[in-house]
Chain A
Amino acid sequence: MVPVNPSDPSPPPLPAPKPPWWRDRRVVPWVVQAVVGLLVLLLIAFLLGNLVRNLTAAGLLLSWRWLQQPAGFDISESVLPFNAQLPYWRALAAGLVNTIRAVVVGLVGATLLGTLVGMASFSHNGLLRRLARVYVEVVRNIPLLLQLVFWYFVVFLTLPNGVAAIQLPGVVLAKSGLYIAGLGEGLRWMGPTLVNGVWQAPVRLSVEFGALLTGLIVYSGAFIAEVVRGGIAAVPKGQWEAASSLGLSWFATLRRIVLPQSLRVIVPGLNTQYISLAKNSSLAVAVGYTDLYSVAETTLNQTGRAVEVILVLLAAYLTLDLLISALMNGLNHLVQIRER
């Protein structure tokens, strides 16, 4: 009697022949990735090494001491107090605040304009619908720089000046800027007044700021209008029909039924437009508005610290854009459909 081994009734199945490693599906991707990764690292190391070597050769190794030196130039309009004796970093900070000011106001304005125009392209009024199309097509097909120069030199610089300025109660629009009444010195209400041929008022917006803002809002507004139009078009037609069968007006349908549902399509698209707007604000230098880029440019010229100044610029715009992006991603999360 042959002893029976219950665990081994038949010869075990042959193990699949192990392929050589260069044909192994688990190995090859790893090897390729490692090689590519290594090459990228080598490339970065080479470029950085090159930069450091050349900068050392030119005696310009990275140094940040210049940030503490007095800037020596003035800034025409600054939210932060600034004068020429303050160090460069204060000048850059003043520029950054000026940039943020233009970006924030620009974002709000462009969103309002874009939403209105996007809604208008679904209007029953044919004239309004066509006007919205014409606006979008004209504006988004002309370079922004050209538009800024147009707004500044053709529109704002042809405003009347001094006594001839456009005067409304509490508001004066002159070639030098927009002057608005407000609480002045000693918390007294003050309207715009003409002192020695120059308008003075508690609240003053320069025409440079005005031109930049107008340009940014009109330009980004066109793109946002298209995003909004796309979002509205993405809402099924049945929603419109259901709303109108309930007796809701066009505006009520849009506001209560369609727009809330279109938000989840609109918000990701808006994110891109907002980031573009923030970056486009650096064209301010063309119309004489002292933004971060303009200050950085002067700083670069005075100090010769090109690499450092560009690094500061890169970091500032990157932070600004990532911040906008993070906020918009949060908003996107809020407007997504929640499955229950």
Chain B
Amino acid sequence: MLWNRTRTLGMSLLAAGLLAGCAGEDGGVQSQKLSTITGRGKLICGVEGKLPGFSFVGPDGKYLGLDVDVCKAVAAAVLGDPAKVEYRDLNSSERFAALASGEVDLLSRNTTMTLSRDAAGGNGLSFAPTTFYDGQGVLVPVASGIKDLKGLAGKPICVESGTTTELNLADRMREQNIPYTPLKFQTSDQTFAAYLGDRCVAVTSDRSQLAGKRTSFPNPDAHTLLPVVMSKEPLSPATVNGDPAWADAVRWIVFGLMQAEESGITQANVDAKLAEAKANTNQADLRRFLGVEGDFGKQLGLPPDFVVKAVKAAGNYGEIFDRNVGPASALKLDRGLNRQWKDGGLIYSPPFR
């Protein structure tokens, strides 16, 4: 009897000790996340995982895509090795909880930047620069003959739950007074499986996602994107609000990729450019950007040559775009809004100084 009680007591103490060990990460250091990542020796990156062009597993079992390349660039800049990334597939409902709980360090998962997701009183995220300017579209079978939203009246539409897509759909249909039935699924795979199973006459999502998913359909040409663009979807990587130093590091790594394209620095010529910067003391901009001069890396808690490492790992923004979703990919998306600002697009890096 007494022994039993003592044992119970011992177990309670043990449990209390274990729980105490897990709790209370208030943090006092400048960036706890950065030191966690360097201590761990790898970056944990939350991705979609099943979206051709953005993040998916290629035939050789390796992750590929625009979102994945952002993870690689960050890992290279922080840890010096683009391979030191652990990818976590997250569905749209899991992603914010995974980020908030610290399960992933960085969310690079075609996530739309919105006020409520950014606000401290909302989801409390911290967004990095937009890596893909997108808009919501609708995919329908060519055979259905549907040309616009009105053609969807009274019909079921497949949509992924917990997305801005779901809300935009509700808003647009309400504006035009079109009755419809939303069929919501938890993952994009289920959503597209239901669409391909003819349960819905249309599926709605970001236009890039629709284009990406269509490439994996049994018969891609039998489906067409409606011309309507239902919303603005600036897809951006995100970190949690609580660690501004880490958010800054991610932000400027992404800007680094964009600035590299503007400065004509590519994966192939980055070493030559670095040598050029080292040789010419009068090229101050280039020297600062590539970390030959100044202490930009140090200010961010990163190595001085973080831009060189990021570009070497993934290429500049333009190369990342072309390789994954642009002309060199199956998606063949136009650069559109994602051109450099000099070419009339929205990709614009603030100065590195």
Partner of A304, one of B116, B190, B198: B116
Partner of A59, one of B13, B121, B170, B197: B121
Flag B1-41 by CB within 8 Å of A: 1 or 0 each: 11001101100110110011001111000000000000000
Contact A302 B116 (CB under 8 A): yes
Tell me whether A208 is interfacial, beta carbon within 8 Å. yes
Contact A73 B170 (CB under 8 A): yes
Please give, as numbers and ranges, the residues of chain B lying within 8 Å of A32 by CB-CB distance: 2, 5-6, 9
Contact A57 B162 (CB under 8 A): no
Please give, as numbers and ranges, the residues of chain A lying within 8 Å of B234 by CB-CB distance: none
* Cα distance A176–B200 in the bound complex, in angstroms: 8
Contact A297 B162 (CB under 8 A): yes
Min C-beta distance of A86 to chain B, whole Å: 12
Partner of A306, one of B8, B97, B185: B97
Contact A198 B124 (CB under 8 A): no
Contact A58 B241 (CB under 8 A): yes
Tell me whether B61 is interfacial, beta carbon within 8 Å. no
* Residue on A nearest B174 in the bound complex, by CB: A84
Flag A59-74 by CB within 8 Å of B: 1 or 0 each: 1100000000000111
Please give, as numbers and ranges, the residues of chain A lying within 8 Å of B263 by CB-CB distance: none
Min C-beta distance of A215 to chain B, whole Å: 15
Contact A301 B23 (CB under 8 A): no
Flag B155-190 by CB within 8 Å of A: 1 or 0 each: 110000111001101110110000011111110001
Contact A43 B100 (CB under 8 A): no
Please give, as numbers and ranges, the residues of chain B lying within 8 Å of A60 by CB-CB distance: 121, 124
Stretch at the interface among A136-144, A284-292, A312-320: A284-292
Min C-beta distance of B126 to chain A, whole Å: 12
* Residue on A nearest B17 in the bound complex, by CB: A43
Contact A286 B186 (CB under 8 A): yes
Q: Would A301 and B93 be within 8 Å (CB), given that A72-B167, A153-B197, A176-B156 are in contact?
A: yes
Looking at A36, A73, A84, A208, the one whose CB has the most chain B CB atoms below 10 A away is A73
Min C-beta distance of B176 to chain A, whole Å: 13
Please give, as numbers and ranges, the residues of chain A lying within 8 Å of B23 by CB-CB distance: 46-47, 50
* Cα distance A127–B223 in the bound complex, in angstroms: 49
Please give, as numbers and ranges, the residues of chain B lying within 8 Å of A306 by CB-CB distance: 97, 100
Partner of A208, one of B24, B92, B155, B183: B183
Tell me whether B332 is interfacial, beta carbon within 8 Å. no
Please give, as numbers and ranges, the residues of chain B lying within 8 Å of A286 by CB-CB distance: 185-186, 190
Min C-beta distance of B33 to chain A, whole Å: 15
Q: Would A29 and B194 be within 8 Å (CB), given that A47-B23, A58-B120, A76-B156 are in contact?
A: no
* Residue on B nearest A39 in the bound complex, by CB: B12
Tell me whether B193 is interfacial, beta carbon within 8 Å. yes
Please give, as numbers and ranges, the residues of chain A lying within 8 Å of B25 by CB-CB distance: 54
Please give, as numbers and ranges, the residues of chain A lying within 8 Å of B2 by CB-CB distance: 28, 32
* Residue on A nearest B241 in the bound complex, by CB: A58
Please give, as numbers and ranges, the residues of chain A lying within 8 Å of B120 by CB-CB distance: 58-59
* Residue on B nearest A46 in the bound complex, by CB: B20
Please give, as numbers and ranges, the residues of chain B lying within 8 Å of A33 by CB-CB distance: 5
Tell me whether B154 is interfacial, beta carbon within 8 Å. yes
Contact B184 A290 (CB under 8 A): yes
Contact A288 B190 (CB under 8 A): yes
Tell me whether A272 is interfacial, beta carbon within 8 Å. no
Tell me whether A298 is interfacial, beta carbon within 8 Å. yes
* Cα distance A37–B170 in the bound complex, in angstroms: 52
* Cα distance A42–B199 in the bound complex, in angstroms: 53
B residues contacting the other copy or chain, number (CB 8 A): 57
Interface residues of A in 164-221 (CB under 8 A from B): 175-176, 195-196, 198, 207-208
Partner of A175, one of B8, B182, B198: B198
* Cα distance A306–B24 in the bound complex, in angstroms: 18
Please give, as numbers and ranges, the residues of chain A lying within 8 Å of B15 by CB-CB distance: 43
Min C-beta distance of A314 to chain B, whole Å: 16
Contact B156 A50 (CB under 8 A): no
Contact A76 B124 (CB under 8 A): no
Q: Would A207 and B184 be within 8 Å (CB), given that A58-B120, A176-B156, A302-B116 are in contact?
A: no
* Residue on A nearest B155 in the bound complex, by CB: A198
Flag A80-97 by CB within 8 Å of B: 1 or 0 each: 000011000000000000
Partner of A29, one of B5, B26, B180: B5
* Cα distance A94–B123 in the bound complex, in angstroms: 24
Min C-beta distance of B265 to chain A, whole Å: 38
Tell me whether B117 is interfacial, beta carbon within 8 Å. yes
Contact A40 B93 (CB under 8 A): no
Tell me whether B301 is interfacial, beta carbon within 8 Å. no
* Cα distance A304–B186 in the bound complex, in angstroms: 17
Tell me whether A273 is interfacial, beta carbon within 8 Å. no
Contact A57 B242 (CB under 8 A): yes
* Cα distance A285–B93 in the bound complex, in angstroms: 11
Contact B170 A84 (CB under 8 A): yes
* Cα distance A54–B26 in the bound complex, in angstroms: 7
Please give, as numbers and ranges, the residues of chain A lying within 8 Å of B24 by CB-CB distance: 50, 53-54
Q: Would A73 and B123 be within 8 Å (CB), given that A28-B2, A57-B242, A286-B186 are in contact?
A: no
Flag B116-136 by CB within 8 Å of A: 1 or 0 each: 110011111000000000000
* Cα distance A100–B266 in the bound complex, in angstroms: 59
Contact B8 A176 (CB under 8 A): no
* Cα distance A303–B121 in the bound complex, in angstroms: 9
Tell me whether B87 is interfacial, beta carbon within 8 Å. no
Min C-beta distance of B246 to chain A, whole Å: 15
Contact A43 B5 (CB under 8 A): no
Contact B122 A303 (CB under 8 A): yes
Please give, as numbers and ranges, the residues of chain B lying within 8 Å of A147 by CB-CB distance: none
Please give, as numbers and ranges, the residues of chain A lying within 8 Å of B186 by CB-CB distance: 285-286, 294, 297
Give the 7 A-B residue pairs with the shortest CB-CB distance, closest first. Answer: A301-B162, A157-B197, A304-B123, A32-B5, A84-B170, A304-B122, A50-B23
Can you report 20 A-B residue pairs in the complex whose CB atoms are below 8 A from each other? A39-B9, A58-B120, A58-B241, A59-B124, A60-B121, A73-B170, A84-B170, A84-B174, A153-B193, A157-B194, A286-B186, A288-B183, A288-B190, A298-B161, A298-B162, A298-B184, A301-B161, A302-B167, A304-B96, A304-B116
Q: Tell me the B residues contacting A by CB distance below 8 Å.
A: 1-2, 5-6, 8-9, 12-13, 15-16, 19-20, 23-26, 92-93, 96-97, 100, 116-117, 120-124, 153-156, 161-163, 166-167, 169-171, 173-174, 180-186, 190, 193-194, 197-199, 241-242
